[in-house]
Amino acid sequence: MPVQTPRIVITGVGLTAPNGNSLAEFRANLLAGVARISEIDVRYMGRLPAGVCSFDPLKYQKRKEVRVGTRAGSIGTYCAREALADSGLALAALAQDRTGIFIGITEHGNVETENEIFNISKFNYDTKYWNHYHNPRTVANNPAGEITLHLGVTGPAYTLGAACAAGNVGLIHATQMLRLGEVDLAICGGVSESIHTFGIFAGFKSQNALGSHPTDINKSSRPFDRSRNGIVVSEGGCLYTLERLDDALARGAKIYAEISGYCVNSDATDYVLPNPTRQAECIRQSLVRADLTPRDIHIVNTHATATPMGDIQECECIRAVFGEGCPDTYINNTKSYIGHCMGAAGALELAGNLPSFSDLTVHPTINVDDLDPQCALPGLVLNHPKKVARIDTILNNSFGMLGINSTLIVKRFAP
């Protein structure tokens, strides 16, 4: 008799986004159309739009932890503790060696290195002023490592560098580790501290891909709008607790959703420009693994970042998969509220849609005053929430530079 693949479920969500520090606050603002983009000073570049989180790191960390650690570590620690609290799992009761931490990141270490170089420039580049915590702050596994130090978790803990597909990849990898029996509980998702490095702003500026708006900063991120002009760089984090279904049921856990299907693939065609054919293949493979057809999907949350060509390419891929024959499929975007949270984007955007299983409402893409005809998709929900009869499945797209694509499908839990 074949061995049945364990079913994996989401039992806790912890997040911080530019427009909310809990799932309830985040969701309320998505339904109310509340974007929250700030203007910050960026070294060498002046004041620019950015998504800034307002969580209190001292809710869980000591001042020394915050001082010695990184912004990404603080974001991760806050989200991990919030997810555990939401799941009903007591920190003291965790099986520490059977808990895994899998954190998606776009990049890590640039913030600390830029700051240290700027600091020693004031002292004629004398490296005796270089911070001796620099190395542990900049290693790629830092955000996961800081969480382990805080939680005392001794199981596998590391980051997954997957550009802007990283939030989904954190969840996908955690699902695989649970199915392999390597861990019994996974804390997973993605984090980003990107707004604290001038390099990412300068890089997008050099590509003519840095978003702005002439009169309303909260419209700086406007995917699908004809006047869109680029990415709003944002920080943020969203971590989940994932468990095997049998374990979740045994402890009477609240279950948000079940992981249904997923895929990660690569374009292998360009450093930056997406390949809609490969993106469509990623979506189709995730549907195969979920044993679903395009008509079975009720929400498609797009990756669209508000770059002129990127949005068009993704719409082309969605059109290729879903076409005109999916009347119950609705399409939305979350970056229009919070900008692009980089490594946290996929995880945050999935979280913003999870409550749809309960309230049967699709949050809209906002800031679309003049829809680009090349982005006019059937089922696109614009500017106002849409109440629908049924939501059983959510498909979350998250794509990144160097052609990494990820698609994750979750479904309403049914015993």
Write the CB contacts of 141 (distance below 8 Å, at least 6 apart in sequence): 157, 158, 159
Tell me if residue 402 falls in helix, strand or coil.
Answer: helix
Please tell me the predicted confidence (pLDDT) of residue 3: 59
How many CB atoms are closer than 10 A to CB 255?
17
What's the distance, CA 214 to chain centroid?
A: 28
β-bridge pairing 330-333 and 299-302 = parallel
Residue from 80, 58, 102 nearest 14 by CA: 80
Listed in order, the ranges of the chain carrying CATH 3.40.47.10 are 8-250, 261-411
Please tell me the predicted confidence (pLDDT) of residue 367: 98
DSSP string, 102-153: EEEES--SHHHHHHHHHHHHTTTT-GGGS-TTHHHHHSTTHHHHHHHHHHT-
CATH of 8-250, one of 3.40.190.10, 1.10.630.10, 3.40.47.10, 2.60.40.740: 3.40.47.10
Strand ranges, E, within 267-307: 299-302
Q: Say if CB 184 and CB 196 are below 8 A apart.
A: no
Please tell me the predicted confidence (pLDDT) of residue 1: 44
Write the CB contacts of 51 (distance below 8 Å, at least 6 apart in sequence): 17, 18, 36, 37, 38, 195, 232, 233, 234, 235, 236, 338, 339, 340, 341
Q: What is the pLDDT along the chain (415 residues), one digit of tens a residue?
A: 455 799 999 999 999 999 999 999 999 999 999 999 999 999 999 999 999 999 999 999 999 999 999 999 999 999 999 999 999 999 888 999 999 999 999 999 999 999 999 999 999 999 999 999 999 999 999 999 999 999 999 999 999 999 999 999 999 999 999 999 999 999 999 999 999 999 999 999 999 999 999 999 999 999 999 999 999 999 999 999 999 999 999 999 999 999 999 999 999 999 999 999 999 999 999 999 999 999 999 999 999 999 999 999 999 999 999 998 899 999 999 999 999 999 999 999 999 999 999 999 999 999 999 999 999 999 999 999 999 999 999 999 999 999 999 999 999 999 8
What's the distance, CA 38 to chain centroid?
A: 19
Residue from 319, 313, 347 nearest 331 by CA: 319
* pTM for this prediction: 0.97
Write the CB contacts of 98 (distance below 8 Å, at least 6 apart in sequence): 155, 183, 184, 185
Give catalytic residue positions.
Answer: 164, 303, 340
CATH architecture of 261-411: 3-Layer(aba) Sandwich (3.40)
Please tell me the predicted confidence (pLDDT) of residue 354: 98
